[in-house]
């Protein structure tokens, strides 16, 4: 919805332009689309048809699936994303990574944050552009909250009821980098 106005209109009004279900309300259309994304992110082939490591849907969405989904929809096309595990990183390393992420989020270039308990990742939030810092969209609550690097870096957040950051999924370039960037796409 952040990068495709026609898709956003279909979600909000049900207008033509998308073939995913014929539900009559915005919540139903949004729910159907989330289910479609979850199926793609956990399948043997990703959103572009390239092979990816499949994942049991009952275990949620894997970081590499979210990474590939974001690469597919990010603008400009060709933007690469990287998934970085932060669960066992020191608070200072987390701070550096979160600061780096905040500089790369922009129009058409959201990020994602996996959060969970001390033992398991349990929830995925979307990181969206804000002014002056990114904002965190929590799909479980349907809320947007501020970007608190201090709380995120020490694992004292409340995103979907979960305090501990596990993975950051961030854009790493704008598609115009002169050298290849390792990303979540196979062979890249």
Task: Give the pLDDT mean for 153-180.
Answer: 80
**The pTM is what?**
0.83
> pLDDT, tens digit, for every residue of 1-52?
777 788 888 888 887 666 666 667 888 888 888 888 888 888 888 888 888 8
Which fold would CATH assign to domain 5-171? Cathepsin B; Chain A (3.90.70)
Segments making up each domain of the chain, as ranges: 5-171
Q: With 50 as the cut, is the pLDDT of residue 176 above it?
A: no
- Which residues lie closer than 8 Å to 135 by C-beta, 6 or more apart? 127, 128, 129, 144, 145, 146, 147
Distance CA 37, CA 152 (A): 26
* pLDDT tops 60 at residue 135: yes
Q: How far apart are CA 20 and CA 16, in angstroms?
A: 11
């Amino acid at each position: 919805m952040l990068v495709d106005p026609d898709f956003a209109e279909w979600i909000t009004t049900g207008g033509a332009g998308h073939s995913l279900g014929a539900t009559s309300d915005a919540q139903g259309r949004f729910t159907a689309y989330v289910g479609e994304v979850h199926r793609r992110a956990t399948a043997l082939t990703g959103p572009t048809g390239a092979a990816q490591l499949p994942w049991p849907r009952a275990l949620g969405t894997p970081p590499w699936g979210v990474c590939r989904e974001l690469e597919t929809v990010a603008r400009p096309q060709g933007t690469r994303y990287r998934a970085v595990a932060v669960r066992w990183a020191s608070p200072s390393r987390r701070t550096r990574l979160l600061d780096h992420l905040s500089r790369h989020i922009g129009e058409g270039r959201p990020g994602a944050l996996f959060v969970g308990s001390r033992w398991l990742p349990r929830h995925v939030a979307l990181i969206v552009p804000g002014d002056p810092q990114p904002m965190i969209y929590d799909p479980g609550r349907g809320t947007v909250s501020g970007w608190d690097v201090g709380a995120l870096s020490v694992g004292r957040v409340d995103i979907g009821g979960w305090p501990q950051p596990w993975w950051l999924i961030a854009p790493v370039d704008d598609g115009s980098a002169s050298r290849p960037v390792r990303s979540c796409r196979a062979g890249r």
